[in-house]
Chain A
């Protein structure tokens, strides 16, 4: 994972709440076996509408999405994060994220910045009044900035640290391989295994 410290890019106002992962990327686009190329499915149903925000030239190259509350609800598909990142997004700002989406974002290096809803509304106004306005997201300082507007955001300290360092979760866990092995050695014998030979 690439370390993330600070990012500046065009902010995209998405005035919708409950943007579920079926909206971010519909199931028919989940059939690839790679982690790339999912940008074609991003907001697929909405992109057919020419008034949709990403179809407006000023926002087409946006990289900071500013969305309504309960972003990323529904399915656990990490494809939602890949689709956003494949398209070019580095940050999503919302007042509330679904838990699984937030976790997936943190694993992939997409910053899920949780702001107060009042700040989201102010950002929407700034971005709508002057389409193409850039937003700076500073992970170290935990701030978002657009023109002279500045607001703080929340992200859990551990995810922030991993993002700043660009650390691979699995490598971190494998440092504790001895503890995992010790735990396994004490598992009760009646717990099931999946191998068919043990079945009957």
Chain B
């Protein structure tokens, strides 16, 4: 830290938020610019504050929404599950007691916490952003240092607006070349995770860079940073550029007038210096990528859609082989089966990974004039009420419902199945979400992670497919 070499983006943001440097083994104390709160990981934190008689230090840097538990149908009715209802009611009481802005179910700004932060313009370059949710890494798409925290840390941030942390190591993910048509940000990140593994990013903050990244929209960048945690990294970042500034301009909480100019001048400095050194680097050529799908029970177990289910016997590493055997048994898949022959019962389009308007547009384009296959259920769950509204203004809801898909209200929904949107035991899904863990979408459910394009094509054919497979 003391040498004169250039700084990476992550180090610049870290340095700018260091309240005090730790001495010896002591961690640094990092200031937090924005704290996002939801109903699942906050109740015990607020209890802790009450017990200790502590206030929330900066309610004006804190914002809450209801997303994990909320139903996506009949939202005007009370939540049917009494335990979910209690959790949501508890958030409402806590926000009222501690003076925190809350967007409850039914509110125009309600939605998945990682969709609403950027949408409101609250997520800005160079900020530190935390939330009691591992997909907080999403916000790194703006050049923010954004990471998930546990409930003890939620309480810590509420009480002090800081966190004691040791600096992360830095890893560059160089994505050169350009994506081919039909290949998306989701395919990039699934390929990255397949390459470095679910533990490859542990202890690191990833910086995605290179021509393929620079060509992506903000929403696509969010998809990539979102899944950094699935590679084990606490955070993923992308240097802000004109695309970032254009996205932010005129958002409700973006700076205005002279403040905007001052902010952009500052943001332009948020780039890794040419002479900076990363602790590790990984290279990927975007031009060689094709649509990716997962076959196993962790997000690193993914392959191009053109491939077949792998044979564990051919995996040299014992732990990886054992894990692949267990995964295939859980997924009920035979080695050698072409991935395109795997049929699904459910298609889920949504989540903080792929529940934004561009994701919905991409899927709707595939579904326009087509039908969801017989026996397949497709759920379309917008990431926020604003996304839902925008989609309806463009008539996308009609495209989905005409195709036979269900058009739902906003929330986390089947990504983690805390609400009634779940797979039944043995059911198989193609899902645009982020985790294919055992039981993630419902006890005994089997998940294949895919992009919105693959999700839509799969809905039409009933088997894992890309739009190229459609007539």
Contact = CB atoms under 8 A, between A and B. Distances in A.
B22 to A, nearest CB: 8
A183 B127 CA distance: 14
Interface stretch (A52-60, A83-91, A96-104, A146-154): A96-104
B199 A69 contact: yes
B162 A28 contact: no
Interface of A: 15-18, 20, 22-23, 26-28, 30-35, 44-45, 68-70, 73-79, 81, 96, 98-100, 103-104, 107-108, 117, 156-158, 161, 169-170, 172-174, 176-177, 179-180, 183-184, 187-196, 198-200
Interface string B23-45: 01111010101100000110110
Interface string B247-270: 000001111000110110010000
A158 B155 CA distance: 19
A32 to B, nearest CB: 7
Nearest to B267: A190
B438 A22 contact: yes
B291 interface: no
Interface stretch (B6-14, B143-151, B216-224, B350-358): B143-151
Contact of B439 (A22, A79, A157, A177): A22
Given A157-B24, A191-B124, 9 more contacts: A22-B439, A23-B437, A33-B87, A45-B438, A78-B151, A81-B150, A158-B166, A188-B262, A192-B122
Given A28-B418, A31-B86, A169-B164, A161 B435 contact: no
Contacts of B34: 192, 194
Interface string B185-218: 0000000000000110011000000000000000
Contacts of A169: 152, 156, 164
Nearest to B168: A99
Contact of A180 (B31, B84, B199): B31
A104 B151 CA distance: 8
A183 B15 CA distance: 12
Interface stretch (B55-63, B338-346, B395-403): B55-63
B150 A74 contact: no
A27 B443 CA distance: 10
Contact of B27 (A45, A158, A196): A158
B27 A104 contact: no
Contacts of A117: 319
A17 B151 CA distance: 25
Interface of B: 19-20, 22, 24-27, 29, 31, 33-34, 40-41, 43-44, 47, 52, 54, 59-63, 68-69, 81, 83-84, 86-87, 90, 101, 120-122, 124, 127, 132-134, 136, 148-153, 155-156, 159-162, 164, 166, 198-199, 202-203, 229-230, 232, 234, 252-255, 259-260, 262-263, 266, 297-298, 319-320, 322-323, 326, 416-418, 435, 437-440, 443-444
B318 to A, nearest CB: 10
A59 to B, nearest CB: 20
A192 B253 contact: yes
B41 A76 contact: yes
A34 B101 CA distance: 23
Nearest to A33: B43
Closest 7 CB pairs of A and B: A107-B152, A104-B150, A157-B25, A78-B150, A33-B43, A76-B148, A190-B255
Given A99-B203, A161-B25, A77 B156 contact: no
A68 B440 contact: no
Nearest to A46: B438
Contacts of B164: 169, 172-173
Nearest to B253: A192
Contact of A31 (B31, B69, B416): B69
Contacts of A174: 159-160
Contact of A76 (B47, B101, B149): B149
A33 B69 CA distance: 13
B61 to A, nearest CB: 6
Chain A residues touching B, majority SS:
loop
A145 B43 CA distance: 38
The residue among B84, B162, B418 with the most chain A CB atoms within 10 A of its own CB is B162
15 contacts: A26-B443, A32-B83, A35-B44, A70-B199, A81-B150, A98-B199, A100-B234, A117-B319, A174-B160, A177-B160, A179-B29, A180-B162, A192-B33, A193-B253, A194-B101
Given A74-B134, A158-B25, A193-B60, A31 B87 contact: yes
Contacts of A157: 24-25
B169 to A, nearest CB: 11
Nearest to A161: B25
Contacts of B59: 194-195
A70 to B, nearest CB: 5
A38 to B, nearest CB: 11
Contacts of B439: 22-23, 26, 45
B61 A70 contact: no
B150 A103 contact: yes
Given A33-B86, A107-B150, A176-B29, A191 B323 contact: no
Contacts of B61: 193-194
Contacts of B101: 194-196
A172 B259 CA distance: 36
A33 B40 CA distance: 8
Contacts of B120: 199
Nearest to B235: A99
Contact of A100 (B124, B148, B297, B416): B148
A72 B166 CA distance: 19
A34 to B, nearest CB: 7
